[in-house]
Amino acid sequence: MSVRTALLMSAALLLGGCEVSSEIGKECTLVRKASAEEETTFGRKFMPILEKEVAPKQDFISFGSIECEDLICVRDAAFPRATNEDGTVNQNAEAKGYCSKECVEGSNACEVKDTSGVLEGLPERMGCRALLLDQDTLEALRSSDEAFYRRTFGENNSPFFCAGAPVAQSSN
């Protein structure tokens, strides 16, 4: 067997055993762009968002989370808030969410493949849904002020992301 054939066979065997992993659903910290003063003081471009900065029971999306392969961290309305020992919201805790990615409406691209460290019940709720403004509004914003659009939404061009579906309210 030639060296070339041996290398090709080795590569095929190695690649055949590789499993594509995904970070969808893994916990992450919501971030925002640092102010010039924060960047100078802390030496980083992004700062963690605190619980007091996130409205309760609303979807929230954060671009730039280095904990996620696609740099997108999402917190859906049902995601639990950080609490103190007495059960009250810890307003100064870093707000958490889970890794997400852009998706195509109606696709099954949001499957949580590794459930270790994933919030219980999230994999069953995960799907592709709009979290931002609708597509027409995003395009209108981009057309009217490209610089503002890029500062706000980065390179994102779609309102659809992998996120937990809303949890039905129980009627008491």
- pLDDT of 3 strictly over 90: no
At 140 the pLDDT is 87
Closest CA to 29 of 44, 43, 54, 48: 48
Q: What is the dihedral of CA 57, 164, 169, 120, to 10 degrees?
A: -100
pLDDT for 74-132, tens place per residue?
Answer: 999 999 999 999 999 999 999 999 999 999 888 888 999 888 888 889 999 999 998 87
- pLDDT of 16 strictly over 80: no
Mean pLDDT confidence for 43-70: 92
With cut-offs at 50, 70 and 90, classify the pLDDT of residue 26: very high
**Range among 14-18, 56-60, 95-99, 128-132 rated most confident:** 95-99
Largest CA distance in the chain: 74
Mean pLDDT confidence for 2-12: 44
Mean pLDDT confidence for 8-18: 42
How high is the mean pLDDT of the chain?
82
- pLDDT of 12 strictly over 50: no
Mean pLDDT confidence for 53-77: 92
Q: Does residue 165 contact residue 127 with C-beta atoms inside 8 Å? A: yes
Window from 10-24, 115-129, 151-165 with minimum mean pLDDT: 10-24
